[in-house]
Amino acid sequence: MRNKGYTEYYKMKKETYEQMRKFYLELGYNEQQTEKLCKSCFGAEIRISEDAYNSGRWVFPRRREYPEIEDVEDGEDGAAAPQTKGGFHPLESIANAFRGAGARKKSGAVMRDAGMPAPLPSMPAMMGMSASMSAANMAAVSGGMGMNMAAMNQMMNSEFNTAETEAPKENETHSPMDDSQLIFSANVNTASWAYLSDRIKTGNNVNPDFVRIEEIINSYGYDLKKPKDDELFEITAEGGRCPWNEGAELFFLGIKGKKADADVKHNLALLIDVSGSMADEWILVQMSLAAIMSKLKKGDIVSVIAYSDVTVNVAEKAECGDMDKLVDIILSIDGIGGCTYGSKGLEDAYKLIGENFAEDKNNRVFIFTDGDFNFGVTGKGQLKDFIYDKRKTGIYLSIVGYGMHNFKDDKMETLAQNGNGNYTFVSNPYAIKENLWKKLESNLITVAKDVKISVQFNPKYVSKYRLIGYDARQLTKEEFYDTEKAADGIGSEHEVAALIEFTRGAAEQKYKSRYVDVTTKDSGNEIAYVEIHYKDADGNDLEMTRVITPGELEPGNSGNVRKAALLGGFGLLVKNSEYKGEMNVSMLKELYQTELRAEDIEKPAPYSHLDIIGTYLR
C-alpha cells in the first residue's frame, strides 16, 4: 500500500465544458443524463478550470490528486510514496505511468498488471503534467528518465509523433490498349479525411503519406441518382474539364446505395481500448459511445467490453430502450491503463456477438482504438489473417480511430479492408456527430458487400486515363472475378465517388500479340463500360453494368464534377502528387471561390470540406 486513496480528474475550460454539454443535449439526452455524462469519464471527474491545459484539440490529460499521503511501507513495485499531504503530485503520476502502477481499480475489484509494463505517457499528457511542475521537479523527472533538462525541454516543445501509415504507389496513367480494364474496390471510409482535417485545423504539418485522395473526394455529398426499387444501388456518370491538366477531361463516377429497412435490429459489441496510450482521448471515446447508444432502440442489444492487457465485460447483451440504463453502462467503464492486447479484445467481442447471433439482425463489432496493438497479434500480416477469418462469420466490423500522435492508421486500415468493415477517425465533437451519429445507419447496415468496380475505356475514343486516388484499392482481373476476394461494402444510402482523368482520341497500339487481336474495334456509341460485382446481404453474387456514351462525358455545368474537381485538386496538392500537373495554391483558391459562389456560401460550416480548404489556403 502506497497511499490512502486518490482522485483522478480532467481539467476543462468552461467554454469547452459547455460545448460538451450542448453535444449531449443535441444527441437527445435529457438534462439529468447530460449532467451525469458531463461530470465524469472512465472513472475520472471532469472539473471546470480556467488554467486547464489546451492543446488546440479535444485532448485532456488525466491528472491525479492525493488528499492525504503518509509515510508508509514501500509498495509492491518497491517505490516509497511521497511524504507530502494534499494536492496533485505530478512526479507520482509520471512515476506510476512509467512503472505500470502495480494495482488498478475496476468495479470495486483490484486488477493486476499481469506483469506488463505500462507504455510511456503520451506527449500531450506529459506536457499537461509538466505545466504544473517546478523546474526542480522537471529536472528530477528528467534525471530519472536518463536525460538532461535541455533534452526534456526539447522533447516537451516538439511534436512527438509516432503515427504510422502505409503509402502505396500512386496509380499510373494507362492506355486502353495496354490495360483496358480499370478495377478498384469501393472505399466508404472517412479516417484519412478526418485526420487530415484535424491536422490542418490545428496548424500542424500534413504528412502526404496519410492522404487518401478518394476519401477527400468522398467527403462531400453529391447529387446522385437514387436506386430503382429492385436495385441495391445506382450509377451516375458525368464529365467536365480537368483544371490542372490542359487537354484532359474528368470522368465523374458516382454510386449511391439503397436506403435500408429502418426497422432492422442491431446486435452490437462495443470494444473500448482503455490502454495507457488512449488516456488523453477517453473523453472523445465516451462521447462516441454516447452518440451510438443514443440511436439504439428497444429490441437492439449491446455488449460493452473494455480491454488493455486484460479484457473486462462491462455489460453483456444489454437490452436497449432505457437511456438511463445505457448512460449507467457508459459511466461504469474505468480507465485502467496498461498495454494493448487488441487481438484478445476482438476475439472476446466476436465471441460475445456470436453467442447472440441472429440472421435478422445487424451483427457488428465496433472497436474504439488508436490501433497501437502491442501485445498478442500485432503485425499487419497477422492481423489481416486474423480478421479475414472473422469476416467469414457474417459479423461486420466498424473501426473508430483516435490519437493524432499515436495513430496506427495502417493497422486499422488493414482491419477495415479485410473484415467487412468501415473506418473513421475522431478528433472532436463535430467529427463524432458527422461521421458516427448522422451516418450511423449507413455505417451499421450494409446493403452490398465486396463491392468491386471495373471501368473499361474504348480505345476508339480514349487515348489515356488515370484513376485519382484509390491507390490501395486497386484489384487485378483475377481478384475482380474471384467471389472470395474481400472488398469494402456499401451501407444504407452510402455514396461512393470516383474521379478519372482521361484524354480523348484514339489510343495507339503500343504492344502487339500474335494470339490476341488488340486492334481498335468499332463498338458504336460507347466510350466506357462500367461493371460492378458485389454480394447482397444474403451472400448472393450479383453484378450491375452500365454503358457510358461520349455525350454523357461532354464538359458541361455539372455541379458534381465541379465539387469533385475542387476536392480532387486539393488532394493532389496536399499529397504533393507527381500527377498534380498545374495544380497550385492559386488554382485551388480559384476553384474554392467558384464553389463558394455556386453554393451561395459566405461562411462554411465548421469542419466542412470548404472550411478545411479555406483554413489550408489561409
Residue 455: per-residue pLDDT: 95
Residue 564: per-residue pLDDT: 97
Q: Render pLDDT for 61-91 as a digit per residue (tens, 0 to 9).
A: 888 888 664 554 544 444 444 444 444 333 3
Residue 553: per-residue pLDDT: 94
- Residue 401 cell numbers, joined: 480511430
H or E element that contains 591: helix 585-599
Give the residue-averaged pLDDT of 510-532: 68
Nearest-CA neighbor of 267 among 444, 446, 420?
A: 444
Does 142 have pLDDT greater than 80?
A: no
Does 6 have pLDDT greater than 80?
A: yes
- Residue 529 cell numbers, joined: 463500360
H or E element that contains 445: none
Give the residue-averaged pLDDT of 577-602: 96
Q: Render pLDDT for 187-219 as a digit per residue (tens, 0 to 9).
A: 888 888 988 998 898 888 888 988 999 999 998
Does 517 have pLDDT greater than 70?
A: no
> Count of alpha carbons within 13 Å of 459, Cβ hemisphere only?
16
- Residue 189 cell numbers, joined: 471510409
For residues 500 and 533, give the distance between their C-alpha atoms in angstroms, rounded to a whole number.
Answer: 19
Of residues 230 and 586, the one with the higher pLDDT is 586
Nearest-CA neighbor of 307 among 338, 268, 280?
A: 338
Give the residue-averaged pLDDT of 229-245: 93
Residue 119: per-residue pLDDT: 34
Longest distance between any two alpha carbons in the chain, whole Å:
92
DSSP string for residues in 11-58: EE-HHHHHHHHHHHHHTT--HHHHHHHHHEETTEEEEE-TT----SSS
Indicate the range of 272-276, 333-337, 430-434 predicted with least confidence.
Answer: 333-337
Q: Render pLDDT for 495-504 as a digit per residue (tens, 0 to 9).
A: 999 999 999 9
Give the residue-averaged pLDDT of 303-322: 91
Residue 250: per-residue pLDDT: 97
Does 101 have pLDDT greater than 70?
A: no
Whether residue 269 contacts residue 290, with contact meaning beta carbons closer than 8 Å, is answered with: no
Of residues 239 and 136, the one with the higher pLDDT is 239
| Helices 409-418/380-391 angle, 10° precision | 30
What is the radius of gyration, based on Cα positions, of the chain? 26
φ, ψ of residue 290 to 5 degrees: the values are -65, -35
Provide, rounded to the nearest whole percent, the portion of the chain with pLDDT above 70: 78
Does 45 have pLDDT greater than 50?
A: yes
Residue 376: per-residue pLDDT: 53
Indicate the range of 171-185, 368-382, 419-433 predicted with least confidence.
Answer: 368-382
- Domains for the chain: give ranges and CATH numbers: 181-260+447-557 (2.60.40.1230), 265-428 (3.40.50.410)
Of residues 417 and 304, the one with the higher pLDDT is 304
What is the pLDDT of the chain when averaged over all its residues?
80
Provide, rounded to the nearest whole percent, the portion of the chain with pLDDT above 90: 44
Give the model's confidence band at 377: pLDDT under 50 very low, under 70 low, under 90 confident, else very high. Answer: low
- Please provide the distance, in angstroms rounded to a whole number, between the alpha carbons at the two ends of the chain: 55
For residues 10 and 579, give the distance between their C-alpha atoms in angstroms, rounded to a whole number.
Answer: 46
Residue 102: per-residue pLDDT: 33
For residues 536 and 161, give the distance between their C-alpha atoms in angstroms, rounded to a whole number.
Answer: 41
Q: Is 254 exposed, middle or buried (0-12, 13-18, 19+ CB in 10 A)?
A: buried
Whether residue 403 contacts residue 160, with contact meaning beta carbons closer than 8 Å, is answered with: no
Give the model's confidence band at 163: pLDDT under 50 very low, under 70 low, under 90 confident, else very high. Answer: low
DSSP string for residues in 122-140: PHHHHHHHHTTS-HHHHHH
Nearest-CA neighbor of 159 among 204, 201, 209?
A: 204
CA triple 540-453-255, angle to 5 deg = 90
H or E element that contains 211: none
One-letter amino acid for residue 217 of the chain: I
Whether residue 11 contacts residue 63, with contact meaning beta carbons closer than 8 Å, is answered with: yes
Of residues 396 and 123, the one with the higher pLDDT is 396
For residues 360 and 349, give the distance between their C-alpha atoms in angstroms, rounded to a whole number.
Answer: 19
Give the model's confidence band at 55: pLDDT under 50 very low, under 70 low, under 90 confident, else very high. Answer: low
Partners of 495 in beta bridges: 256
Does 308 have pLDDT greater than 70?
A: yes
Give the model's confidence band at 417: pLDDT under 50 very low, under 70 low, under 90 confident, else very high. Answer: confident
H or E element that contains 595: helix 585-599
For residues 436 and 268, give the distance between their C-alpha atoms in angstroms, rounded to a whole number.
Answer: 14
Q: How many CB atoms lie within 10 A of CB 485?
A: 15
Whether residue 302 contacts residue 315, with contact meaning beta carbons closer than 8 Å, is answered with: yes
As a 3-state breakdown, the chain gives helix, strand, coil percent values, each rounded to 5, of: 35, 25, 45
Most confident of 163-177, 271-285, 405-419: 271-285
- Cα→Cα distances 322→65, 130, 172, 353, 434, Å: 34, 42, 54, 21, 24
Kindly report the pTM of this predicted structure: 0.80
For residues 565 and 567, give the distance between their C-alpha atoms in angstroms, rounded to a whole number.
Answer: 6
Does 183 have pLDDT greater than 90?
A: yes
Give the model's confidence band at 146: pLDDT under 50 very low, under 70 low, under 90 confident, else very high. Answer: very low
